[in-house]
Structure 1
């Protein structure tokens, strides 16, 4: 799919570098800060030297720490204390990721790409180093979500509080909790950078290839192993499941501060169906009910999606779209690749009507389609 994005596939252990190199860089960064800190302490009268007291009997005063800073720190500590016990580490045979305790029955929600094709997992909670075992309930790759269930319930298992992601606003402070690079119970902070993003996973990097709509974008660090963890607001509510991190191929690596989380409302919709029915019965995702492939022109530039197969009785079939047609537009959105088609449909709803423009025998046609459901 889109090679400019990839989901957060974990490594089994962090990469290491020669010890002297990071130590030198750390020293150069921190040394000036240490000097400035000492100087500030002396200027504020914080020295323990008794000679610093004024001889006229007056007392020195310590510079006050802004109350707002203390309040924010208290919020961070409270949220971490409330939410982190609900975030677990999930170990498959080769991969490692994170998960969130969904209920008091031992159900844990995570990403489908974390569980892969496996059915048995080892789980470590934030309250214990003891490994628990869990079994797959169901994985839904189209939304990159899965539910596993602990084989035995431990003591002090705490279910997370999932919030209403429709109330998420740009600028909200959020904390990302998970096991980046295998470092369990790690917390990073940032803000909600944007909402309503549509992003496609890179199948070549082990992702499900899903195109996911309405994602929450965050500046909180999302690293390999954070997948399936929790994006939490300052009310201690999970507002999303971190799933993807953007990459910058021109820079040769990740794009710091650009991560994406599946919104909590979608997580609850899918997880509730899996727990109740053992599968997803209502995806809430629109479909044209076709199989297609990207078409390129003589300059090898993508110019549309060729219809390879049409599902009998499906949305495209009812609208008169046939194999061999080349789709070039959905609504007002130009379609050049199978990924762009998936992204356009991710913004639609099943049962909704949209116009689809396509080429047939060199002529352009437009039809109205009542969309189906994945």
Structure 2
């Protein structure tokens, strides 16, 4: 009887053996899957850890490329009584800089990023009203590279920028910051080396701007000059010392407008700056507080002359803006355009009057 049942028993044994083989295989599959998941997770963690480093490398490489591309277009300008920076404007050797860098001088020594010896240059024209000037090299060296100017309308707060120039005489220096604000109207001091100009639409930046940076380049990460660094803010609470992280640059659109005229015509005939056509001075009231602008002289045929404003009148309002000082009048005019109609409120012999004025051009 045992012999007759042996085939069935063999089948049971075979099934049991098969199950025993399957169970280890399932265990191996689970272990292999777990290892694969761990390897995938490890790879993901490694990629995530490497991403910030790659981003930092990309940003650093971006800086290096901009510096390599633009720095050869930024020069040091040595005047007899001042030192500043300039930007190569074209391949003819024209260099744009600040008017306060050239001052009253007409000849200069220029050092480029790639030259060992200073080159000589002469003044083409200075336009202090916008604190811009153009000089021209007597000899254009081989390999001189002109800068590329950007579109001021595309400048945005938060953009990373580099300031290039010769701060404190340290040629080919670069500082980094962001665009802190746009559209600033700033009046330069006239007693600390500036021209006293009131300049509209300036770019405010946190990139360090020190003496010697004036006339250099404020550059975006596309390698385009978006402004000419001109001055740093001062902190009255710190004894008129520089206010860290607050500097201003003349926007590229203004630079091109003025420099193109100087290069082509040797002068500026279309400033784009509104004017009343007067010479004025600040007056104070009985409490010695600034109270308006006294008209000293009226330009014949100018806006004020056509409106009937006379010497001795005291201007107290332009449009909707109160006028207390000659600076406040300049700043109000900087926000207007030639040909624009506005009103001027003034006093004459103690009586107040308001007249319509069509602004002229400075």
Does residue 197 (structure 1) correspond to residue 184 (structure 2)? The answer is yes
Q: How does 1:246-325 map to 2 (within 5 A)?
A: 246-252=233-239, 253-325=241-313
Q: SS where residue 139 of structure 2 aligns?
A: coil
Query: Which has the higher relative contact order, 1 or 2, with Cα contacts under 8 A spaced 6 or more apart?
Result: 1
Which residue does the alignment assign to 1:145?
132
Does residue 332 (structure 1) correspond to residue 320 (structure 2)? The answer is yes
Structure 1 CA distance, aligned partners of 2:155 and 2:170? 28
Q: How does 1:43-82 map to 2 (within 5 A)?
A: 64=50, 66=52, 67-82=54-69
Q: SS where residue 61 of structure 2 aligns?
A: helix
Give 5+ residue unaligned stretches, structure 1.
Answer: 1-57
Higher helix share: 2
Q: SS where residue 124 of structure 2 aligns?
A: strand
The match for 1:361 among 345, 349, 352 is 349
TM-score (norm 1): 0.82
Which residue does the alignment assign to 1:37?
none
Structure 2 CA distance, aligned partners of 1:150 and 1:259? 29
Structure 2 CA distance, aligned partners of 1:131 and 1:314? 45
Q: Deviations over 1:138-176 (max 9, x none)?
A: 111111100000101111100000011111111111100
Structure 1 CA distance, aligned partners of 2:238 and 2:350? 41
Which residue does the alignment assign to 2:153?
166
Which residue does the alignment assign to 1:348?
336
Aligned length: 316
Structure 1 CA distance, aligned partners of 2:276 and 2:70? 40
The match for 2:211 among 210, 220, 224 is 224
Q: SS where residue 284 of structure 1 aligns?
A: coil
Q: SS where residue 96 of structure 2 aligns?
A: strand
The match for 2:100 among 113, 118, 125 is 113
Does residue 370 (structure 1) correspond to residue 358 (structure 2)? The answer is yes
Structure 2 CA distance, aligned partners of 1:331 and 1:172? 34
Structure 2 CA distance, aligned partners of 1:153 and 1:310? 45
Q: Deviations over 1:191-240 (max 9, x none)?
A: 11111111111111122111111111101000000000000011100000
Structure 1 CA distance, aligned partners of 2:105 and 2:250? 22
The match for 1:241 among 221, 225, 228 is 228
Query: How far apart are residue 332 of structure 1 and its match?
Result: 1.1
TM-score (norm 2): 0.85
Q: Deviations over 1:254-311 (max 9, x none)?
A: 1000000001111011111001111111111000001111010122110100111111
Structure 1 CA distance, aligned partners of 2:310 and 2:106? 39
Query: How far apart are residue 65 of structure 1 and its match?
Result: 6.1
Query: How far apart are residue 64 of structure 1 and its match?
Result: 3.2
